[in-house]
A and B are shown apart, each in its own frame.
Chain A
């Protein structure tokens, strides 16, 4: 039996290490000039030269559907940006003993210096950033590369931000594939 998985999104003002609005399951992964989940991206375009608000997603695994979850990786794995010299996708750094998890901040269009990984290029999932798992929520400082299935488990936050340069053609970006890979048993 496969682990029951859902993408969840946090938005809104940071409180207690997470967003005030938690959307489960997440409805989309569109980058836009707004942090409101229900705002259509087409109504909140990113002006050339500016950035999107951070899109703060994470994964939730429902207890009872797995024994153990481990070996998480996150990467941009398919479809290159049409104009990569005017587009940069930034993402969360690897979760390690010394680094991470990402600390939630109220999303905004300002460059998020904590998103250090350049996810613009399509890469092999094996060279994606390490994703660790938390016992009670993505905002929890407690983290481990492996978690058992005795309770609901969560990935660390997996935020991304689309950054653009002046000169980017108007219109939607290419639709990308971002992959979260994990082992379950």
Chain B
């Protein structure tokens, strides 16, 4: 049976369902089902402690503005990207290279 918990995902900036598992050292590991990012919580926490940590995690990470999200927004705002022109001076075959004047 898969154990899940809804936790705020800092990467997605949204509440997401996370899969719960135990890390090798017995800590609580939560992986976001959407982006796969992980969050760890200390071993041996009670339900109340866990809920408090989940709430603290949301408070601490809500509103982060990632550079990735800024770049995505800019891409959405911009006109269609201008296709780079074909290289007008293709010297790879040597045809565009002038011989030095003697």
In contact, A109 and B37 (Cβ under 8 angstroms): no
Using CB atoms, name the residue of chain A closest to B13: A121
Q: Which residues of chain A are within 8 angstroms of B45 by Cβ–Cβ distance?
A: 113
In contact, A110 and B56 (Cβ under 8 angstroms): no
In contact, B56 and A116 (Cβ under 8 angstroms): yes
In contact, A127 and B24 (Cβ under 8 angstroms): no
Chain B, interface residues (CB within 8 Å), range = 20 to 34
The prevalent SS among residues of A at the interface is loop
Q: Which residues of chain A are within 8 angstroms of B65 by Cβ–Cβ distance?
A: 123-124, 126-127
In contact, B25 and A49 (Cβ under 8 angstroms): yes
Q: Closest CB-CB distance, B97 to chain A, in whole Å? A: 39
Number of A residues, CB within 8 Å of B: 31
Partner of A110, one of B29, B42, B60: B42
Determine the distance from Cα of A76 to Cα of B60 in the docked complex, in whole angstroms. 15
Question: Could you give, for residues 117-136 of chain A, a 1 whenever the CB lies within 8 Å of some chain B CB and a 0 otherwise?
Answer: 11011111011010000000
Determine the distance from Cα of A170 to Cα of B31 in the docked complex, in whole angstroms. 20
Q: Given that A116-B56, A118-B61 are contacting pairs, would A85 and B24 also be in contact in the complex, using a CB cutoff of 8 Å?
A: no
Q: Which positions in A face B, CB cutoff 8 Å? A: 47-51, 80, 84-86, 88, 90, 93-94, 109-111, 113, 116-118, 120-124, 126-127, 129, 163, 165-166
